Every structure is written in structure tokens, then in C-alpha cells.
Structure 1
Amino acid sequence: MDIHGKIREVLAETLRSDKGKAQSSLSEKDLLLALQSRGIIDDVMKDLRFTQEGGTDLETKYPPKPATHFIDREIVQLKKTNIDPSRRCLYLSVLGGKAFLEHLQEPEPLPGQVCSTMTLYLHFRNQRFRSKPVPCACEPDIREGFLFEIFKDEMGVGTMMVGATGMLSMSDPIQFVLTMTNTSSETTLLSSCFLDWRVVLSQPSGKTCLAVELMGVGSECKVPTGILTVSLELYPPLSETLCTDVINTQQSLERQRTAEKERLFLVYAKQWWREFLEIRPSHQSKLVKIFAQDDENGINRPVCSYVRVLHAGRPPGEPQTSGTLCQPAKPMRKLLWWEGGGKHEAVVHTHGFSCGDCEDHATLLCSLLLGFGLDAYVCVGTKAKGVPHAWVLTCSSNGSITFWESLTAHRYLHRPIDPDAPPLAPQPKRSSHYCTVGCVFNHQTFLANCQPSDAVELCVFDFQVESRWKAMSKEALKSVCAPGSTTSLPPLPPLCAPSLDPAAASNMLELEMRYLVSEHRKDLDLATVWNDHLSYLMSSALSVYELERCTAFLAVNDEFQDAVRRAVPDGHTFKGFPIHFLHRNARRAFVTCLKSPFCEEIVCCRGDHVRLANVCAVWLMFACTYRSVL
């Protein structure tokens, strides 16, 4: 349409017609009025065509993605073609980071070079997103866009448009979690913070830009880690905005209400603790922990707030598998328990949970078991040599007690010893390595051990007997631990689908391991021939090993043994070496395997018709067949 030429013509005509006015007084509004009066704007709007990128004729049959999704392209610009105009959405765009001084001397990575990376995670009202990893730097190039839906919680009105007043009552913040992954694939939690997004409700344009200061974790929770520049935009824009004073007043009332609930609970907890000490003087030394420090934000919370009913979805299949889900990849840091006047302890919140210590895994496993419908509790006590420890306890309907170790996925059936039994009466053998237990808790209950001895083998886990277990008021716990009870309690994020493809990771690890074995045998002047059929057969053996680890029951492996007998030629010998790892680093695993004389004998096997095999799937197994040469 040569729109630029037409604008220049209208501008020249307007200047000629307004000779009496000063040339500087001609404003943008005057020019727009002139363009509108000549019909140029209407012509432009008629010729515009809004099309969606990658659209096809099938879009009428298959609608586009729902409103809640990750904006992958044009991250600094909101693409409104894929948004339902009947829903209220909040578009958050990260425009970059700065002042990450810890990475000030970080060299800029060369193309293709492996380097440490940062990843940003966001959570808002049951919606979770993750950014693409970017190289660690003083000013990391984190530029991503995320689209959140703002919906009502009431039944039947979730799809209705939310107004300004309705959004003002939503105290759920946006949680930012920043992690760093080093070149060894070890993930570390860098920062976690909360953003009150309701400041955008006072902007007439529905847009605002602000700086989010990220603080450290643990002992560095008061030290800034860096700053993220964030832009917020409401779509569709509000017809009527709220006054800033109204938003500030609402936030102040929420803080006051939360502070009053926490103050009342603290008063009750102190009184409860005094009553507990009056029962028996030895209770002073028991591990009864009412509060724990949130390692992400450095805030003390009741321990019951770290447990929630968590549904793992369909993949786990049975409660026994939950123990395997909670096994650590590698401890991030040492986390200790907190008690007033005692030693310091911290617990990682669920959104920042990556690979914490026993306390974090115990709370996660308890949450999963509660989701399966079991009566589960977190136990706080000690194990061998008086080391503080946490594990999970479940009570069955028939009264039997089962201990769950989240770090190893092992289970132990508890059989208490009767101290009043005759000296010659048979007593059950000790089944677990737990020594003492001071208290148990879940999302609704907190119980302290009042029995004369806190030794696990002597404890009776009948929580209905008040002379053995002193309970805190469930109403008091609910006032500060129930979801939505206080604004300071972060909401529980849902579990995400696994980002790792197990089959692809297993195949890649197997190829890397084959290369390392071949190179090792080449250094020994040995040829290497692989038996792919034998590698396939060993997968069934690893499945049985994993099943035994998950369920603690010895599985029958007759099919694998029969298949190996058929695959090994007459006169040949078969040797296999299975081993379990908590990481996927092939070189580290290979070095560890060679420390075993039996594995070294397989890898360095000499003989006639030597055929090697290996398979990886969390487990790693080396095997070979050969005919002895005398």
C-alpha cells in the first residue's frame, strides 16, 4: 500500500494547512486524526491478515494448544494468536539476568564446549515451567516467556473470566527456583524466591517491568545471588485497574493475618513442649523436632508443613516403587535438623527438591505413600553410633508396622521386644538399623515418644495410647500447616513428567561403556567382539535385580538362566557382573567397576572365542562367554 508514502503526503498537507501554527505544535495526535479522516487507517485494517505460524487446514479439526504452555518462539513478544480470549492469562517474560558475581570470572564457552549451565523453574497455581539451560555468567542470557492461566478455585467457575477484585484475593505468588548444573551433571540449588504478581493490577496498560532479586540458600539466604529482569502482562487487559493503596492494604492484611496465626501456634508449641518435659526429665534429650528451617528461604516452619498428600500418577504403579523414586542421585549438601537452642537444620521445599539428604527424601516418600492411601509418618531419631536420621513408618489395618528407608528403598517389618517377658522367652531379632525414635509426624499429626525408652526395638507404635505418644492439637497444626492457611507457606507444586527418556539414556550409556571397554582391551592388546544377543538377554536379569531392590522380595530368575544356557555354546563359560549406580557418568562407573577383581576378570578376559556383552538401565552388567585355552 506504500503506507510510508501516504503518511508523508498527509504530513506535508497537514503542515501546509496549519501555516498559522508553530511547526513544533503539531503532535502525534494531530497526525493520527489526519490519517483517520482520510480513511488511511481503515484501509490498513481491512488489508491486515492475522495468521498463525505453521497453521494448516487441519487446525479447524484439531484446535491449537491450550492457553497454558511454554512460549518457545519470539520469547520477548507475546503471541496472542494462541490464547483463549475468554480466559485471563498472565504472561511473564524474563529479559535477562545480571549481578551474578559468583560467575564474574566465568570464561565465555566456545561453540560445542561443555560448560556449567543455569536453569530457571517457575511455579504458579499448579502450573510449572522450566527454561532452557544457559551458560553460567555474570549476566546470564536467560530470555524466556511463560504463559500462566489465572482461574478461580470454586467448583464450576474455573473457566470464567477473573476480574481485578478476584485476582486481588489470590495470594498465591510466583515461585522462582534457579539451579546450576556443572560439567559432571551435578545439580545445585542456587536460589528460590517468591514474586507477588498483583502489582500489575494497578497498571492502566496491564504491563509492568520489575527487577527480582534472587537470594542464596542455606547459610547464604541473606546474601543476593543475582537479579532477574522480569516483565508482567495481563491478557486481556483490565477495563478498570485497582489503586496501589488498595493492593498494599490487601497485602498488609494478609501478612498480619499470617503473623497472628504463627504467633498463636508458637505460644501453643511452647506450652506443649513444657508439658512434654514435665512428663519425664529424660525427654530433654529426645529428638523431638517441632520446627525445621526452609533451606530455600531461611524461614522456620512446622515440620508437618513439609508433608502433603502427593499423587504420583500412573507410572509408579504400586507403593513399593515410591521408595525407588525417592532415592538420591547425589546429596546436594548436608542438611541438619533445627531446634530452638540446639543445632541448625534445614529442609528443602518440594519445588527446590533435587537430591537432598535423608530428611528431604523421607518427607517426599511419606507424601507419596499418603497419596497411595497409606497411614504414613516421618520418623525422627538416630541410627548406628547415634547419627541423627529420618525414615518413614506405615501402619497397616491389622496393626503391623513397616519401616521404609528412602535412601535405599529397603523395607523392614517392625517386631517389638517385650521387656516384661520371661528371661527364657524367645524374642524377635532386630530387623532394622534404626536405634532410637523421638517423634513421628505427617501432614495432620505430630506425636512425641513418651515411652520410658526411645529405643526402636522396645517402642510400641500404638498412637492411640496417650501414655506412650503425646499428640499436638490437630486444630493448631491445621491453622498453620493446611494448604492455604497462611500466605508464608509456599504452595505444593505438582509432580512433573520425567524429562529423561530412560531407553535413550540407557542406549547412550551402553554405547559409551562399550567404547571404554574396547579402548581398555586395546591397551592390553586384546581384540573385542560384542555379542548383541547376549546383551539383550541380560536386560531381563537387570529387571529382576531392580524388582528385588524395589520390593525387597527375592524374585525367581529361572527364565534368564535358561536363556543363558541356550545362548552359551557347548564348552564355553559364562561370567556376569551386575552393579548398581546412582549416576549416569560412564567413565566414573567404569573406573568403579574395574576395582572389582571379578569385573576386571570379565573385561580383561583372555581365551578363545571371547564374546563380551553389557547392558545399562540404572543397573550395569558386564558379561562374557569364552572357551578356556590350556
Structure 2
Amino acid sequence: MSLPPEKVSELKQIIHNHLLKSGIRGKIREVLAENVRDDQGQSHQSLSEADFLSALQNRGIIDDVMKDLHFYQEAPMDAKNGSPPKHAPDFVNKEITQPKKCKKHNIDPSRCYLFLQVLGGKAFLEHLQEPEPLPGQVCSTFTLYIHFRNQRFHSKPVPCACEPNLEEGFLLEIHRDGKGESNKMADATALLSVSDPVHLVLIKMDTTSETTLVSSYFLDWRTVLSSPSGKTCFAIELMGVGSESKVPAGVLTVSLELYPPLTETLSTDIISTQQSLERKRTAEKERLFLVYAKQWWREFLEIRPSHQSKMVKIFAQDENGVNRPVCSYVHVLRVGRLLETPRQAARFVSLLAHEKAPVVGGGGGGQEQWCTLMAFLCRGKGDCEDHATLLCSLLLGFGLDAYVCVGTKAKGGTHTWVVTRGTDGSITFWESLTAHRYLHQAIDPEAPPLTPQPKPSSPYRTVGCVFNHQTFLANCQPSDAVELCVFDFQNQSCWKAMSEDALKSVCAPGSVSSLPPQPSLCAPSLDPAASSNQLELEMRYLVSEHRKDLELATVWDDHLSYLLSSALSAYELERCTGVSCGNEEFQDAVRRAVPDGHTFKGFPRHFLHRSARRAFATCLRSPFCQEIVSCRGDHVRLAVRARVFVYPENVCAVWLMFACKYRSVL
């Protein structure tokens, strides 16, 4: 049976997508490593292709690849005899062509749904010269993330190209806002009042698993309300982010369809009038707030001329270059059972990588970019402002009196962190990039010279303002030094507050249509045990290959490897709670496992990714790890343990520990 070229290409792409999704390639590498090791142990003949395929079949890996591939015959009727035409069967991945959310049993006939279908991309000119990847080849990919009214979805990764094959469907449920009316069918007028946009975030991931925010777009879906068929199709132009927010990044073709179709549609004039009224109302509220903010700033400068140089940040630009009040970046965020304690929330935020907004060219400071929460979570990394606003939102959700601080660190660089005030008057600083906590005690500059003063424990030098979702306070104390600062926010001689009503008019949820909707966190989908086992197998293979290059044999001590788990768990627990525990039991177990006259060496490392090769290359740059991995001596036994701790959004804390024991020779 022969296939036309387009069907061959389609089959290759389906198999490639399936391999990426199910982790089959890791299993193939594992089988290859074992067979090569067995083959070299028995004879030095090269491993044949037939033997390798037989090993894959015995493991059931070939069956795993084929089980999701289905055949079907297209059913157009032949013009002559009314029977289906005879041709080669097509290969179809049902998971791709039929989005899971479109299954009939998932649709409640009493609810209203919006089916958003992405039909492909074009004009991504940055990738014009990229060649089409071969099946199985690692390449850069695009992933599209969707957020609508607390519902989040994402597409499958597709290879980056000038015309990426972004074809995916998403079923979004539309809720009524009125109390007790969530189960009632919404009519066209009620749907017109739902002004929440669909937030589209396009992320690029390169071959080293580094992510880049390509575009962040807010789609007003209500144009479909004027379509007699309940369905419309159009193209949207995605713009770049940051300094490229005025430059097109590419075009997506999207289709919108309502389920069930409306019995009565609205005219385009009514929809455009509603959108115009919302824009005017938002513009007027923002204009009034800007007038108030200017007057408030003039009053602040009149207190003391030196206030001109203080770090008082009222507005900040998001990834689309839109100026928004900083208070709008914070909201009360409750995450159910995904995070159990405030300290665990701080640990989660610290695991999101720190990276300043990229700037084309040099010239000093980076581009200011306070990302929306959706863009920050999808990208998985951001600047200190993104971390601080997320941590403050989570701490507010846990019931703490939390604020974001804007100031400088000891080296003079602009920085943001979080402060919480206890009911007993205690002040605690939270560093969102590291999850470290510092108890603040102010120095009294008017105390007698011999009076003992507290020593500064935090790395922060000055603080200009603090804010949360409903409060903005500027520091009007004689000195903005953190060590002298009194965090009594009710004291008007120390802190100048903005009007809460003015802030609420532009920062409260639903106050203006320009505010981006705030998503909730997603539960992790990674299996910690499976991820840990996979990473450990890959690390063992890399260590064995490294020692083979040094002409050293590798003998693994499985018992010693198992004992390292308790140490890695203790390290992560200490990062979460700040309390060290379990080290005594680990040391006692190691003493029992290492015979008299033998030496034990261990080397732990922490990572924010699960790439074995990247991690191993980093570890080898340490002389301590190099000494263990390249250990020579009598009766050398090696051990390695990997532990992947999974948090919401599939954020991972990865711990690796290399160890060896050997007989000491005088």
C-alpha cells in the first residue's frame, strides 16, 4: 500500500506529536542504553537494528505508539455508483482532530458555550527561513494558551514556522453574572453584557526548553452575537511585547461559534455601540484617576522637596506597553488545596525563574515590563515585580496583611519585595525571588548613643512606596532608609495614602473594561515519581558515559542511592518551611551503609528544570561534583538520586545528589 506525499507528511507529524506527548523517546533511550550495555557485556559485536526493534516490541513500546493511531475511510460518495471511492486510508489522531471538549456528553444543553477554533497561523516572519523539521527532530515550538472567565486551556506544541500549524479547538463556558441564575440560558442581551475578553498568550519554547513570550492578545468575542448562523471567522493580528509591542508578530485565523445558536441575534450597530460605551466609560474613569494622581503627587512633593527622588511607582507598563496603576497588578488569590501555607506559596513563587524583560541592543537598564498574571504563568519566568505581585496576591489569599514594597537593594538597584504586618506589630519582609524571610526592627535615630540597636537583617536599602489591591502609600518619613523606616501605615506623618475610592474606581475587578481578567492557578499534571525516575535513569546513563570516556568502570550502589532520598526531601522541606530536620537520620543511615575504612562523599544540587544534560553539564563545572563523578580508587561505588517536587503550573523544584564511597588507601 502506498500513500500520497501529503499523507506521509501527516503521518510523520502525528507520530512526532505522540512521541512528544507520551515520553516514548525517553523509554527508547532507556532500552537503547540497556541493550548497548548488555551487548558490550556479552560480546563486542554491534547491536543490529532487528535486535533493537525486537527489544522495543518486547517492552510494548511499539504498541504504545500505535494504539492512538486510527484508520478511517473518507466517505464522499462516488458520482457513478453512489459508493465511497477506493483510495488509501487516512491516518487520523482523534485527539488532534476532535478536541476533548467537543464531545457531546461534555456539553450541558442548559448552558451556553463559545467554541473558539484556531484555524492556523501565518506571517510569523521571524521564522520565515526556518526549515521544516524532520519527524522526531527537536525543534523550537509554539504553544497557545487560552484564559476565559477562570477557564484555562492550551494547545499542543507545534514547530515554529512562518505559517505554524496551530489548529486547535477550545470549548469555553459562558456564565451568567446574576446570583442564582448560573443555570439559566443566557439570551443575546445578557451575553452582550459579558465584557470579559478571551486572553490569548503565545509562547515560544526553544530547543533548550527556554520560553519566550511572543504575544499577549485580548479578543472581544461578542462579534459572534451578530451572526445569523451563530458562527463567524476572522483573522487577528498578534503584536509583539515590550519594546516590540507596536510590531506585528503574526496572524491567527480564528472561528467563533455559539452553542446553542441564538434564536435572535443582535445587529452589529448594537454591539459596536456597547463596545464604544464601555471604552468611553473606562477612558473617563482612567482620566479622572490620572487627574487625581497628579494632584496627589503635587501634594506629596510639597511635603519635602527631596521626595522627587523617592521610588514612588504609581503606574507601570504591562507586556503590551499599556500603563496601568500598580494596584491593579495585585488581587486576592485563593488557590484551594494547591498550596497549603504562606511559606509554601513563597517557595512556589521563588521557583518561577527570574529574568528581566529582553531588550534589543545595549545601553544600560532593561525594559520595564510588569507582566499580566496570565502571561507570567504561561512564560514561567519574569522580573522581580512579577514575582512580588504574585506573592503578595497569594499572601492576601491566606489572610495576611501583605503589601508590595518598591525601593532599592544594598547595591542600589531598583527592587520590589513583599512586607506583611502581624497583629502583634511585627514586620516581616518576604523576598519573592528566594522565599527568604527577614524580621524587620527599625533603628531609633533619636535613641542615646549607648542604647543597643537592632542590626539590619535584610538586603534592602530604601523603600519609596508600598501598595496592594486597595491601598497605595508613599513613604514621607525624613529618610527612606529601610533600617530607619517605621511601617505604621496609619501614621499619616510617615505615610501619605491615596484615596481608596479613587483606587477602587480603576483597580477593583470589573471597574473598567481595560483590566485583564485574573486567572487562577492550575493543578500540576506531572507525576513526581515518574519524573524523578526518568531523570535519575538519564543521569545514570550520562555518568556512565562520562566515566567511560575517562576509561573508568561504573558500579552503582542502589542501596546508597535510595538513602539519598531522605536528604533531598529534607532540603526541600527546609526551603519550604525554613526549618532543618531529618539530617540526623540521614547521617546515621550513611554511617551504617559505609563500611569501616571507606570514605563517603556527597554533592547535592538544585535546579528549576528537568533537563538531565543541562543539569549534568552544570554539575560538572563544580570541582566537588567532578571529584565524585570521576572518582578513582579501590572498591569505588557510585550513587545518584533525583527528586522532582511538583508545584502548581507544573513548576518543579529538582534536587540531584551525586555520591560515592571508596576504600581509603594510605
TM-score (norm 2): 0.81
Aligned: 1:349 with 2:375: no
Partner in structure 2 of residue 208 of structure 1: 232
Partner in structure 2 of residue 294 of structure 1: 318
Aligned: 1:126 with 2:150: yes
Structure 1 pair 545–91 and aligned structure 2 pair: CA distance change class (3 A): same
Aligned: 1:384 with 2:407: no
TM alignment of 1:159-308, pairs within 5 A: 159-295=183-319, 297-308=320-331
8 Å Cα contact 1:328-1:356 kept in structure 2: no
Aligned: 1:480 with 2:503: no
Alignment equivalent of 1:322, drawn from 340, 345, 364: 345
How far the C-alpha of 1:501 sits from its partner, in A, is: 2.8
TM alignment of 1:423-438, pairs within 5 A: 423-438=449-464
| 1:314 partner letter | R
Aligned: 1:542 with 2:578: no
Aligned: 1:113 with 2:137: yes
| Deviation digits for residues 226-274 of structure 1 (CA, Å, limit 9, x no counterpart) | 1111111111111111111111111111001000000000000000000
Provide the C-alpha distance between the structure 2 equivalents of 1:155 and 1:532, rounded to a whole number of angstroms.
Answer: 59
How far the C-alpha of 1:510 sits from its partner, in A, is: 1.5
Residue 200 of structure 1 aligns to a residue in which SS? helix
Partner in structure 2 of residue 511 of structure 1: 537
Aligned: 1:525 with 2:551: yes
8 Å Cα contact 1:72-1:145 kept in structure 2: no
The structure with the larger Rg is: 1
Alignment equivalent of 1:619, drawn from 655, 658, 664: 655
Provide the C-alpha distance between the structure 1 equivalents of 2:209 and 2:321, rounded to a whole number of angstroms.
Answer: 26
Provide the C-alpha distance between the structure 2 equivalents of 1:307 and 1:370, rounded to a whole number of angstroms.
Answer: 9
Provide the C-alpha distance between the structure 2 equivalents of 1:330 and 1:105, rounded to a whole number of angstroms.
Answer: 30
How far the C-alpha of 1:430 sits from its partner, in A, is: 1.3
Corresponding pairs, count: 561
Provide the C-alpha distance between the structure 1 equivalents of 2:634 and 2:203, rounded to a whole number of angstroms.
Answer: 51
How far the C-alpha of 1:172 sits from its partner, in A, is: 0.6
| 1:622 partner letter | F
| 1:322 partner letter | A
| 1:509 partner letter | L
Partner in structure 1 of residue 420 of structure 2: 394
Q: Unaligned stretches of 5+ in structure 2?
A: 1-74, 82-93, 360-364, 644-653
Provide the C-alpha distance between the structure 2 equivalents of 1:302 and 1:542, rounded to a whole number of angstroms.
Answer: 42
Residue 207 of structure 2 aligns to a residue in which SS? coil
Provide the C-alpha distance between the structure 1 equivalents of 2:551 and 2:450, rounded to a whole number of angstroms.
Answer: 65
How far the C-alpha of 1:344 sits from its partner, in A, is: 5.9
Residue 327 of structure 1 aligns to a residue in which SS? helix
Aligned: 1:604 with 2:630: yes
Structure 1 pair 627–210 and aligned structure 2 pair: CA distance change class (3 A): same
8 Å Cα contact 1:381-1:388 kept in structure 2: yes
| Deviation digits for residues 292-313 of structure 1 (CA, Å, limit 9, x no counterpart) | 0011x21100000000111122
Structure 1 pair 508–343 and aligned structure 2 pair: CA distance change class (3 A): closer
How far the C-alpha of 1:331 sits from its partner, in A, is: 3.8
Provide the C-alpha distance between the structure 2 equivalents of 1:518 and 1:495, rounded to a whole number of angstroms.
Answer: 40
| 2:152 partner letter | R
| Deviation digits for residues 195-245 of structure 1 (CA, Å, limit 9, x no counterpart) | 111111111111110111111000111111111111111111111111111
Alignment equivalent of 1:94, drawn from 77, 96, 118: 118
Partner in structure 1 of residue 52 of structure 2: none
Provide the C-alpha distance between the structure 2 equivalents of 1:536 and 1:359, rounded to a whole number of angstroms.
Answer: 40
How far the C-alpha of 1:425 sits from its partner, in A, is: 1.2
How far the C-alpha of 1:385 sits from its partner, in A, is: 2.1
Provide the C-alpha distance between the structure 1 equivalents of 2:255 and 2:549, rounded to a whole number of angstroms.
Answer: 57
How far the C-alpha of 1:522 sits from its partner, in A, is: 1.5
Partner in structure 2 of residue 66 of structure 1: none
Provide the C-alpha distance between the structure 2 equivalents of 1:548 and 1:152, rounded to a whole number of angstroms.
Answer: 45
Provide the C-alpha distance between the structure 2 equivalents of 1:330 and 1:511, rounded to a whole number of angstroms.
Answer: 25
Provide the C-alpha distance between the structure 2 equivalents of 1:78 and 1:382, rounded to a whole number of angstroms.
Answer: 51
8 Å Cα contact 1:75-1:143 kept in structure 2: no
| 2:347 partner letter | T
How far the C-alpha of 1:71 sits from its partner, in A, is: 7.7
8 Å Cα contact 2:242-2:367 kept in structure 1: no
Provide the C-alpha distance between the structure 1 equivalents of 2:582 and 2:76, rounded to a whole number of angstroms.
Answer: 80
Name the stretch that deviates more: 620-629 or 582-591: 582-591
Alignment equivalent of 2:447, drawn from 409, 413, 421: 421
Residue 511 of structure 1 aligns to a residue in which SS? helix
| 1:601 partner letter | E
Partner in structure 2 of residue 28 of structure 1: none
| Deviation digits for residues 593-612 of structure 1 (CA, Å, limit 9, x no counterpart) | 22322222211222222111
Provide the C-alpha distance between the structure 2 equivalents of 1:445 and 1:232, rounded to a whole number of angstroms.
Answer: 39
8 Å Cα contact 2:101-2:171 kept in structure 1: no
How far the C-alpha of 1:8 sits from its partner, in A, is: 11
How far the C-alpha of 1:137 sits from its partner, in A, is: 0.4
How far the C-alpha of 1:113 sits from its partner, in A, is: 0.3
CA RMSD, Structure 1 to Structure 2 (Å): 2.2
Partner in structure 1 of residue 336 of structure 2: 313
8 Å Cα contact 1:187-1:332 kept in structure 2: no
8 Å Cα contact 2:243-2:367 kept in structure 1: no
Provide the C-alpha distance between the structure 1 equivalents of 2:462 and 2:199, rounded to a whole number of angstroms.
Answer: 37
8 Å Cα contact 2:407-2:464 kept in structure 1: yes
| 1:505 partner letter | S
| Deviation digits for residues 412-470 of structure 1 (CA, Å, limit 9, x no counterpart) | 11111111111111111110110000000010110100110101110010101000011
Provide the C-alpha distance between the structure 2 equivalents of 1:509 and 1:208, rounded to a whole number of angstroms.
Answer: 46
| 2:629 partner letter | V
Provide the C-alpha distance between the structure 1 equivalents of 2:159 and 2:569, rounded to a whole number of angstroms.
Answer: 37
How far the C-alpha of 1:350 sits from its partner, in A, is: 0.5
Aligned: 1:148 with 2:172: yes
Structure 1 pair 294–548 and aligned structure 2 pair: CA distance change class (3 A): same
Structure 1 pair 390–192 and aligned structure 2 pair: CA distance change class (3 A): same
TM-score (norm 1): 0.86
Provide the C-alpha distance between the structure 1 equivalents of 2:109 and 2:145, rounded to a whole number of angstroms.
Answer: 26
8 Å Cα contact 1:76-1:143 kept in structure 2: no
Structure 1 pair 78–598 and aligned structure 2 pair: CA distance change class (3 A): closer
Partner in structure 1 of residue 468 of structure 2: 442
| Deviation digits for residues 489-517 of structure 1 (CA, Å, limit 9, x no counterpart) | 01101111124333222222212221121
| 2:641 partner letter | V
Percent identity for Structure 1 against Structure 2: 74
Provide the C-alpha distance between the structure 2 equivalents of 1:311 and 1:141, rounded to a whole number of angstroms.
Answer: 36
Q: Unaligned stretches of 5+ in structure 1?
A: 10-69, 337-341
Residue 381 of structure 2 aligns to a residue in which SS? coil
| 1:453 partner letter | S
How far the C-alpha of 1:315 sits from its partner, in A, is: 3.2
How far the C-alpha of 1:316 sits from its partner, in A, is: 2.2
| 1:536 partner letter | Y
How far the C-alpha of 1:343 sits from its partner, in A, is: 9.3
| 1:388 partner letter | T
